[in-house]
Amino acid sequence: MKPSSNNKEILKRSIETLKGIGEKAATSLSKYNLINIYDMIYFLPFRYEVLSHNSESDNGIISGTYESHTYINAKNGKKVLRLLFRSDDGFIAALYLSYTYSYPLPIFKEGKKYNLYGNISSNNGVLSIFHPEIIPDYDINTVRPIYHLPAGLYQSTIRKAVKEALTVGLNEVKETLPNYLLDRYNFPSIQNSLQSIHTPKTSENSKLIMSRKHPSYQRLIYEELFYLNLLLARKRKNYKELEGISFDISKEFLNRIKEIMPFKLTSAQRRVLVEIFNDMHNIRQTNRLIQGDVGSGKTIVAFISAAISVMNGYQSTIIAPTEVLAEQHYNNFVKVFGNDMIKVELITGSKTKKVKEGIKHRLLNNEIDILIGTHALLESDIVFNKLGLVVVDEQHRFGVDQRKKLIEKGSPVPDIVLMTATPIPRTLAMTLYSDLDISIIDEMPPGRIQPITEHYRESDLNKVLDKVKLLLDKKEGAFFVYPLIDESDKIDLKAATQSYEYISKYYKDKKVGLLHGRLKSDEKRSLLDDFRNGVIDVLVSTTVVEVGVDIPHATAMVIEQAERFGLSQLHQLRGRVGRSDLQSYCYLITSKDITPVGRERIKAMVQYNDGFKLAEIDLKLRGQGDLFGTKQSGGVELKYANIVEDVMMLRDANIDAKKYIEAGVDDSVIEERLRVILNGEDSYIGIG
């Protein structure tokens, strides 16, 4: 974040104007986004050290009078310089592995007392410190900040630079919270907060800062959350005022859809559809997020919404993150609605130029009602005749700028329906997505039987293979999934290939296929079609994302090295089975070096099938991570706040932000801060 243009030029001065920061140091610090005085003031310590004789940390002070020195032989043949000091409790030593004629001997005088600071150990029964720092008496019992630094820079250099930056620039830092909020929560000013965090007066204060409970740190946490919520609230206000399309939700349209539907919707699906229809009927733009566990039936809700748009004379588009998922949506739509009443088409990156040109021509001439695709939909020459509804599947996989490109393809602005199978805990969803209306499908389609999840060690692989064979003999299918950190990682691919060969030999009378990221699109499609049609009995895969296909007869999901997957990934994978009235199984196989966190993940998977419950556990295990998706927050980077730990303050900030927006006031402090945060990118305000 750059300083406001109203601030004095001193905050914009290069850090090279600070003593001790030359061109080389400035280049290193630029990698930490430390460019000017303002940046240095906001470069906060990550921990502290107390210069004390009775330190609670590994480092401490021992004091003594310098008496003599000697050289002792080290094991590597080199000599170590040993300085002896007499203390009240006997002798202490300073040890130097490297030394010169000018350092350190010349700085010590016999009979003078010195305070030696460093890591205290015992060397031949004598308390010793290697390469101690000499501490003046006036610094004893003071607290010093420790900063994250690039290699080659010393803490002493940065401390001096930060001290100078505070001296010359702190008074120029403008307050970033209005007085009424400072008073409401009894927060210190921004200047006092920054000063306190850089230079806590006591060890008690430093402990409070480290635990994030000091008023100065609490203020920084609240500020981030307040402006995050303010941006979300402003987005919501803007699109609520944005005139969109008022769709006719007529009984005739609904009856036509009801006649087509091959199955009965759940009560949760019907409830969510009513919420979407109410939005679509309203003249204001729809921005609704559908949350639902894996297999809960979000897609059919999106299909019906798109069909209503088409029946009103508008086009719709559905974007998915992968070709496999986009093709699945296309095939499922055609299966339900056919391709006569509603003209649906698929566009992906693997389509030939000639096919794409034909699609573009028909789309512009309104000969395509619904266009389903991947990122290919974002190309500038994909032009709709009359776009009415945009559906974004797995919305966290798309950035704000990508959604903006789709929305700009419609005029007036199209309605937006976002979908996610990555649940956000209910306690956080209403705050994190306060810019959106939220619908939750909390019911599974009838006839679905929850998968049974079991945990095995890698040494028990054959036991799992035997269990799976019983299912294969009943003409049911099985997934075997392996972690793939990087599609170019030859080691991972080799491991999967070796496992494929082993499984093929183990199931001699079964057909086994291998799916990985290097296959061409048509090869992947052919392989998945064969698996779906029962030509292949077992699918071994390294491609985690693209396993997200709907194959009802697949009843076994075997995940090897399961500890390498995140909890949400494991739950998503498990959701690939249990999609019929057949009992399904998820077998989690872990290696012997599983971590404690890995064990907790596996334990949770065995115990729970509820995605929302698992999301809560996942948050506790891994922290907030990237809950907003790609640039979802619209400009606020959470450096101090943690929405998992700070949930109560998050709620306060959410309430305060909504009140500010509803009041319609124009507080100069708040508006100035927003301009700094957005840095001119206010075009994203209003994009769901």
Classify domain 251-441 at the CATH superfamily level. Answer: P-loop containing nucleotide triphosphate hydrolases (3.40.50.300)
**123, 25 contact by CB (below 8 A):** no
Residue 473: half-sphere exposure toward Cβ, Cα within 13 Å: 6
**542, 484 contact by CB (below 8 A):** yes
Per the model's pLDDT, the better-predicted residue between 5 and 394 turns out to be 394
**228, 638 contact by CB (below 8 A):** yes
Q: What is the pLDDT of residues 284-333, one digit of tens each?
A: 888 899 998 888 889 999 999 999 999 999 999 999 988 888 988 999 99
- Indicate whether 672 pLDDT > 60: yes
pLDDT (0 to 100) of residue 682: 46
Q: Does domain 452-608 have CATH number 3.10.20.600?
A: no
Mean pLDDT on 232-244 = 81
The beta-carbon contacts of 484-493 under 8 Å, at least 24 apart in sequence, are 484/516, 484/517, 484/542, 484/543, 484/544, 485/564, 487/516, 487/517, 487/518, 487/542, 487/543, 492/542, 493/518, 493/542
Angle 213-217-223 (CA atoms, 0-180°, nearest 5)? 120
Mean pLDDT on 178-204 = 96
H helix runs in 410-478, sequence order: 426-432, 461-472
- The pTM of this model reads 0.74
Kindly indicate the confidence band of residue 683, based on its pLDDT and cuts at 50, 70 and 90.
Answer: very low
Mean pLDDT on 654-665 = 90
Q: Give one DSSP letter per residue of 257-274, joined into a string.
A: HHHH-SSPPPHHHHHHHH
Q: What is the pLDDT of residues 563-572, one digit of tens each?
A: 988 888 899 8
Classify domain 59-139 at the CATH superfamily level. Answer: Nucleic acid-binding proteins (2.40.50.140)
CA 683 – CA 235 distance, rounded (Å): 10
Mean pLDDT on 396-404 = 75
pLDDT (0 to 100) of residue 192: 97
Phi, psi of 86 (to 5 degrees): -100, 125
Angle 325-326-331 (CA atoms, 0-180°, nearest 5)? 95
- Indicate whether 487 pLDDT > 50: no
- Indicate whether 685 pLDDT > 50: no
The beta-carbon contacts of 464-468 under 8 Å, at least 24 apart in sequence, are 464/558, 464/587, 464/589, 465/503, 465/506, 465/507, 467/556, 467/585, 467/587, 468/538, 468/556, 468/558, 468/585, 468/587
Is the fold of 251-441 the same as that of 452-608? Answer: yes
Per the model's pLDDT, the better-predicted residue between 351 and 368 turns out to be 368
Mean pLDDT of the chain: 87
Residue with tokens 């290699």: 151
Angle 174-179-184 (CA atoms, 0-180°, nearest 5)? 135
Under 8 Å CB-to-CB from 70, ≥6 apart: which residues?
82, 84
Kindly indicate the confidence band of residue 488, based on its pLDDT and cuts at 50, 70 and 90.
Answer: very low
pLDDT (0 to 100) of residue 51: 93
CA 223 – CA 176 distance, rounded (Å): 8
CA 533 – CA 242 distance, rounded (Å): 47
β-strands 47-50, 143-146: how paired?
antiparallel
pLDDT (0 to 100) of residue 627: 54
pLDDT (0 to 100) of residue 425: 72
Q: What is the pLDDT of residues 520-533, one digit of tens each?
A: 878 888 888 899 89
Residue environment code for 243-273, b if the CB has 16+ CB neighbours within 10 A, otherwise e: ebbebebeeebeeebeeeeeeebbebbeebb
318 has which bridge partners? 372, 391
Reading the block at residue 211, the tokens are 């635990």
- Indicate whether 261 pLDDT > 60: yes
Longest Cα separation, the chain: 102
**Domain definitions of the chain by residue range:** 9-50+142-211, 59-139, 251-441, 452-608
Which amino acid does the sequence have at 533? N
Residue 404: half-sphere exposure toward Cβ, Cα within 13 Å: 14
pLDDT (0 to 100) of residue 623: 65
